[in-house]
Amino acid sequence: MAFNKTGLENDVGYVLLSETQIRQRVQELDMQITRDYEGKNPLLVCVLKGAVNFYSDLCRNIADYMEMDFIAISSYGNEMKHSGIVRLIKDIDKSITGRHVIIVEDIMDSGLTLNYMTNLLKTRNPASLKTVCLLDKPERRECAITPDYVGFVIPDEFVVGYGLDYAGTYRNLPYIGVLKPEVYTDAE
Ligand code: PRP
């Protein structure tokens, strides 16, 4: 179903990645992950909340045994700048010792969230630990970390939709769009 030009959509300056582009890239990532993890029954860990749409689409197309788990992280700071302080809100439920684990993120910006999570999960001795990010903004990186699988490398724009939010809204847009600057500058 096509979205109407609601107030929600009028806040978007332009579409950066369409539903079709996202769907095709997720299918490619699925083929790669299915091939790389054949016979390994990986545990895919969704980082709440931004990754939910990506995670759901990714998991449903993995054509092999796999399991799901969820983690929630809170990072202090505002929408523009990461404070560098990260806190665990909800841990995964399963033991990962000896398991092949893949962390699924929507976006990597400073890299501080993913850095925190990989350091945390590594202490539990997984057989392997990799990361898949739908979006990578390398210009914003503040620590030496690179995702193992990347959907799209994007410029340093304020993106929303397909799970990504601004102040809690826009996650339900079916595509990834760039927010009009007046939306977040007027709100400051
Ligand atoms: C976003 C995103 C990543 C993190 C990336 O989460 O989902 O987890 O920021 O930023 P970083 O690379 O600078 O650490 P956010 O804290 O906005 O929470 P959300 O997933 O609930 O939207």
Mutating to test ligand 1, I would choose from 45, 71, 75 the residue with most ligand atoms within 8 A of its C-beta, which is 75
**Please, which pLDDT band fits residue 140 given cuts at 50, 70 and 90?**
confident
pLDDT of 20: 98
Nearest ligand 1 atom, CA 82: 13
**Please, which pLDDT band fits residue 5 given cuts at 50, 70 and 90?**
low
pLDDT of 103: 98
Q: Record the pTM.
A: 0.93
Strands (E), 3-155: 12-17, 43-48, 67-77, 82-90, 100-108, 128-136, 149-153
Identify the weakest region by mean pLDDT among 25-34, 72-81, 87-96: 72-81
Active site residue 69: no
Active-site choice (109, 156, 165, 186)? 109
Contact assessment for residue 161 and residue 171, using Cβ atoms and an 8 Å cutoff: yes
113-126 pLDDT, tens digit per residue, is 999 999 999 999 99
Q: How far is the CA of 56 from the centre of ligand 1 (A)?
A: 17
80-123 pLDDT, tens digit per residue, is 666 678 889 999 999 999 999 999 999 999 999 999 999 999 99
For ligand 1, say whether the CB of 131 is within 6 Å of any of its atoms.
no
**Please, which pLDDT band fits residue 9 given cuts at 50, 70 and 90?**
confident
Nearest ligand 1 atom, CA 75: 16
